[in-house]
Structure 1
């Protein structure tokens, strides 16, 4: 994976982390390369 692509992944991952209060982020890897990021968000009702 090129440094430019890796930088883009880190930016997207950082954005996802900042917007997530409860949940998870999954990194999908295929052939040693990150091909997908998935965000699952939980909504807590008090």
Structure 2
């Protein structure tokens, strides 16, 4: 046996069969200072 792995199957692999992943970005942080102030006031009351 050799120390190197068998790469025959890897060389035959067809990349065109891969599916493109769908990524969805989520922004959970408030975007502006007004929103932050509103949330501070709501949590204090």
TM-score, normalisation: structure 2: 0.32
The structure whose residues are more often helix, as a share, is 2
Bigger relative contact order, structure 1 or 2 (CA pairs below 8 A, ≥6 apart): 1
Kindly name which structure, 1 or 2, has the bigger radius of gyration based on alpha carbons: 2
TM-score, normalisation: structure 1: 0.31
